[in-house]
Amino acid sequence: MRMSDLVAQYITEMLDRQDGSAEIQRNELAGTLGCVPSQINYVITSRFTPEQGYIVESRRGGGGYIRISRVKMDGGTALMHIVNSVGDSLDKATAEVMINNMLHRQLLSLEAAKIIAAALSDRTLRRVEQEKRDSVRADLLKNMLITIIS
C-alpha cells in the first residue's frame, strides 16, 4: 500500500472514531506515520476535498491544526454533489478514490462500486483514444450516478 493510501486510511479512521470530525497536527501525524509533512498536505488536498464531502480548515502557528469534517447529507444529495464536482475530465486514479470514498460513506453498495470501477477502467476504455479516455470516464461516472439517484 502506498504512503498516501496509508495516510488517507489513517485520517478516515480518525473521522470514523470521532463522529466525522478530526483535528490533526501535521508534524505530529507525519511523525506517527513515518512520512514527511508535505505528504500529509498532499493527501488532504487531494482526498479530503469539498467535492468528496469534506470541509478542511487550518490554523497556522505553534498551536496550529488542520480540522477535517465530513459533510453530512442524504445519499441522493451527496451523489448529486459528486456528479456536479466531476467536471469534463476524470483520470483513473481520481475515479478510484471517488468510488472508494462513496463506498466507505455507504453511498454505493459493494456490487455497484465494483461495476462502476470496471466500467471506468482503462481495460474497458482501451478502444477509446488515449486523449479522450478521461472525458469519456467522466461522462460515464456522471451518468451512472445520476441513474442511481433516479
pLDDT digits (tens, 9 = 90+) for 75-104: 888 888 888 888 899 999 989 988 988 898
Please give the pLDDT value at position 53: 76
* Close Cβ partners of 55 (under 8 Å, ≥ 6 residues apart): 68, 69, 71
pLDDT at 63: 62
State the span(s) of the chain assigned CATH 3.30.56.130.
3-70
Kindly report, residue by residue over 15-28, the tens digit of the pLDDT. 999 988 999 988 88
Q: CA 26, CA 36: separation in Å to the nearest integer?
A: 9
Q: For the chain, state the CA radius of gyration.
A: 16
Per residue in 5-60, pLDDT tens? Answer: 889 999 999 999 998 899 998 888 889 999 998 898 889 888 888 767 788 888 87
Beta bridge partners of 24: 66
Cβ-based neighbours of 106, under 8 Å, separated by 6 or more: 75
Q: What is the pLDDT of residue 78?
A: 84
In CATH, the number for domain 75-149 is 1.10.1200
Superfamily of domain 3-70: Transcriptional regulator CtsR, winged HTH domain (3.30.56.130)
**Residue located via cell numbers 481520481:** 94
CATH 1.10.1200 domain residues, the chain: 75-149
Q: Per-residue pLDDT tens for 115-143? A: 999 999 999 999 999 999 999 999 999 99
pLDDT > 70? residue 62: no
